[in-house]
Amino acid sequence: MSPQMVEIENITEIRPRVLGEFHVEEFEPRTEAIARAFEWGKQVHAGQTRLSGEPYFETHCGWVASFVDNLVHKETWTIAALLHDAVEDTGESLDQIRALFPGEMGEEIAHIIDGLTKMSNPRDGSTREMDTLRKIAMFRDPAVFVIKLADKSHNLLTLKYMPPGKQWQKATEAIRAYGKLAGILNCYRWRRWIEDMAFPYAEPESYDTVKAKIDADPRLNLNFIRYYLGELGRLMEQEDVDGAVRFTVNGYWQAWDKLQRMARARRTSLQDFSAVNDIVSFRMVVKDNDEMACYRLLARVNRYFGKNLDQDRFDDYIATPQNGYRALQVTSWLPGMGAIETAIATEEMEGENTWGVIYAINHGKDISKYRPVQIFTPYGGTRFLQEGGTVLDGVAAIQEFYLDKISKVLVNGEERHLYDTLNPGDVVEVISIGPHLVPQPDWLNHCDITTARRLRVVLATVALKEASQKGKQLIHPLLAKQGILSLDDVASLESSRIDQLLGLMACANLDDLYSAVGGGSIILRELEDALDRVGISRAVLNWVTVEVSGSNTANRPGVLAYLAGLVSEAGGNIIHTIHTTSPDGSFYLRLVLAGLDEERKENLHELFSKSRFPLDKVEIV
């Protein structure tokens, strides 16, 4: 067995820079046609400067062209990148570009630039930017998307020269739209770079904290990474598999976004990144395109990590690719460190996992699957979907928090069904005013993988809310017998009793208790016994609780003082109060009282029944 059969990545830096990988320097034309485009571009952009004061064409257009030329060695794409602003900013025409490059080359270049060019006269009354975006959406040419991403990337590099309001707008758009576009094109290295350039401007209050926590994470210790690179390399050698062991570090934004999704699903807290498994991802790359070798390595990895394997986090994306991503993914939980991911893929898979459409073009592979559908919000925001994306996918792309707040969805001004397919250039507006549609499991059959992942969290949350509401209703008679209408009151006044109750019921909090009762995993008799054991009872607490609600006609000055006076008249003492007023002026009041025996409680009933304020509901227990 050759000792060189497995190459172990040599660590030079934790976060390799994309620009360092491609060496984007001062633009140097490599062909006569590119040189001709460069000279013409300098001429038509003469006198233009950037916000930084630098010459516009040489520093911006030259950078975009150099970056694209490094990514994809295609002469027409490089020329289109050089001249991507020529029609928009200088008034030159596509015919002039065709004349400069006669024949098929000129037609292809003009086609790409046409897709990138902003139209100066909107056709339908929309804003100039909206019309631009709708036009790009109709082209669906990979060259247009790649050059647009390069253009946006360079703009992000110079965000510091923009006013704060513009910085936030551009950064937010970069994350919500262009980062996701890079993901749909499977260019995950590019996606992380775009999002991390934008993060400090999109969420400055979060960025510093997130960066500090991740940078201090023990899983990013060089010795830790070197150790596991060596261990995984040893496993590959034992299995007699040629290849390499590498590692990737997740972007700050991607890690933060994943942590927020996990926290919403109650799988971790927002203060703890240890559960985010791809803070560091170890990559076992099989040299030959042998899928079975990947599965043999999987068995080795599983045996190696043994009891530290997280059985709930295994993904076979070779059998079922996700957005073109293919790999076997294993998560292990290392005590004192946190979760780490081990991914196993062939060299070809990993190339496309990292650079997607760029890898496919450079290796002569089919790129027909890289045809994103671009949609818009009514205010010019842009989003990207997989081909065949539905209205439901559009809602999730605009803002995943809308998934349980949908009243209806308008597409180009007309109401559409969630299962309808969206077309390039569609304008999607989510209406959240009015009764909301309740998310249904069937929605999972009418969305893409990314939406489905987010939707499962929403469905779980909805189910928990419904179970919690049912649980509260079931518990109500039990509590009322004890003079209590809400366990929240006990938590405020006798918190240790609630802690004991939750411990007996093996629940993390009251919401979990309500959900468990509503879902049937805790039976009422069991709960009733537990309430007695911890002293949440009338015999121990000796409380009486009053719950009152009234319309805006009853919510007049002095009503609260009047009701408190009735309590005092009956001989009770108010020890806890909850009071809320709704936007329509109606109110809710809950009072926890001490010092009332049964006779005084009956007196209180009579006093409230004769209230001079019209009350909609009075409950006294």
Residue at 357 is within a domain: yes
Residue 288: inside a domain: yes
Q: Are strands 243-249 and 6-8 parallel, antiparallel or unpaired?
A: parallel
CB–CB of 604/532 below 8 Å?
A: no
Task: Indicate whether 135 and 221 sit together in one domain.
Answer: no
For the segment 562-566, the average pLDDT, to the nearest whole number, is 94
Phi and psi at 70, nearest 5°, equal -70, -40
Q: Are residues 168 and 298 in the same domain?
A: no
DSSP state letter for 30: -
Q: Are residues 170 and 43 in the same domain?
A: yes
Task: Check whether residue 232 and residue 378 sit in a common domain.
Answer: no
Q: Are 528 and 478 in contact (CB under 8 A)?
A: yes
> Per residue in 26-48, pLDDT tens?
888 999 999 999 999 999 998 88
User: Biggest alpha carbon distance in the chain?
Assistant: 102
Residue 29 lies in a domain: yes
Domain boundary among 440, 458, 476: 458
CATH number at 237 reads 3.30.460.10
The tens digit of pLDDT for each residue in 337-346 reads 999 999 999 9
Cα 341–Cα 347–Cα 352 angle in degrees, nearest 5 = 80
Residue 126 predicted with pLDDT over 50: no
339 near 331, Cβ under 8 Å? yes
The pLDDT, as a whole number, for residue 10 is 86
Give the pLDDT of residue 22.
60
Rounded average pLDDT over 545-573: 93
Residue numbers of the domain that contains 168: 18-201
For residue 351, what pLDDT is reported?
94
Please report, as a single letter, which amino acid is at residue 152.
K
- pLDDT of 356 reads 94
Looking at 362, 391, 424, which one is the last position of a domain? 362
Q: What is the mean pLDDT of residues 73-85?
A: 94
Residue 11 binned pLDDT confidence (cut-offs 50, 70, 90): confident
pLDDT tens per residue across span 342-380: 999 999 999 999 999 999 999 999 888 888 888 888 876
Look at 117 and 291; give whichever has higher pLDDT. Answer: 291
Q: Please indicate, yes or no, whether residues 245 and 263 belong to a single structural domain of this protein.
A: yes
What percent of the chain has pLDDT above 90? Answer: 69
User: What separation in angstroms does the CA of 276 have from each of 454, 458, 495, 530?
Assistant: 16, 19, 32, 36
- The single residue listed with the structure tokens 């290849």 is 243
What total number of domains does the chain contain? 4
Q: How many CA atoms lie within 13 A of 483 on its CB side?
A: 20
Residues 93 and 55 in one domain: yes
Q: 407: which DSSP letter?
A: S
Per-residue pLDDT at 124: 42
Q: pLDDT tens for residues 379-418?
A: 767 888 988 999 999 999 988 778 989 999 999 999 999 9
Residue 262 lies in a domain: yes
Residues 347 and 291 in one domain: yes
Distance between CA atoms of 42 and 403, rounded to whole angstroms? 48
Residue 99 inside a domain? The answer is: yes
Which CATH number covers residue 601?
A: 3.30.70.260
Residues 279 and 239 in one domain: yes
114 lies in the same domain as 241? no
pLDDT tens sequence across 485-530: 999 999 999 999 999 999 999 988 999 999 999 989 999 999 999 9
Q: Is residue 463 part of a domain?
A: no
* Residues ≥6 apart with Cβ < 8 Å to 216: none
The count of residues in the chain is 621
Kindly state the average pLDDT of the residues 465-472.
Answer: 93
Predicted confidence band at 457 (pLDDT cuts at 50, 70, 90)? confident
Q: How many helices (H) and strands (E) does the chain have?
A: 27, 15
Residue 340, pLDDT score: 97
Answer yes or no: do 118 and 142 share one domain: yes
Asked if residues 177 and 375 have their Cβ atoms less than 8 Å apart, the reply is no
Confidence at residue 135, expressed as pLDDT on a 0 to 100 scale: 58
Domain boundary among 362, 385, 419: 362
Cα dihedral 234/238/241/247 (nearest 10): -20
Query: Quick one: 56 and 195 in the same domain?
Result: yes
Of 44-53, 324-333, 597-606, the one with minimum mean pLDDT is 44-53
pLDDT given for residue 16 in this prediction: 67
Q: What is the pLDDT of residue 577?
A: 95
Asked if residues 112 and 77 have their Cβ atoms less than 8 Å apart, the reply is yes
Q: Is the pLDDT of residue 544 over 50?
A: yes
Are both 334 and 252 inside the same structural domain?
yes
Please check the confidence at residue 192 and state whether its pLDDT lies above 90: yes
Residue 5 has pLDDT above 80, yes or no: yes
Banded pLDDT at 120 (limits 50, 70, 90): very low
Query: Is 263 domain-assigned?
Result: yes
Residue 471 located in a structural domain: no
Cα angle 515, 433, 400 (rounded to 5 degrees) comes to 60
Give residue-wise pLDDT tens across range 567-591.
999 999 999 999 999 999 999 999 9
pLDDT band per the 50, 70, 90 thresholds, residue 133: low
Residue 119 pLDDT more than 80?
A: no
